[in-house]
Amino acid sequence: MSIAAATTHDGLVLRSTAEARASVTLAEWVGFHVIDTERQDWARGHAALRRSVERIPRPPWARTRSKAQLFR
């Protein structure tokens, strides 16, 4: 008997099955949700950067569309 992974709205639910593909299913789930965390880290970092940039006011020279507008 092997273990398979199933996801529900409550999270991960492990269940025992006699299927031959259960170990493959578990390996795919672990590879996608546990091992592949770098993508999630980049997404969290990018979201934090966007929040900080939106929170900090831009200097007057950064609000212009071109440098020529600075000298008018």
pTM listed for this prediction = 0.33
Domain that holds residue 19: 2-57
Overall number of domains in the chain: 1
37 located within any domain? yes
Supply the pLDDT for residue 35: 58
35 located within any domain? yes
Supply the pLDDT for residue 4: 47
For the chain of 72 residues, list the mean pLDDT of each consecutive stretch of 10: 48 54 74 67 87 78 61 56
11 located within any domain? yes
Supply the pLDDT for residue 1: 41
Supply the pLDDT for residue 25: 78
33 located within any domain? yes
70 located within any domain? no
66 located within any domain? no
Supply the pLDDT for residue 2: 43
Residue-wise burial string across 16-50, b where 16 or more C-beta atoms lie within 10 A, e elsewhere: eeeeeebeebbeebeeeeeeeeeeeeeeeeeeeee
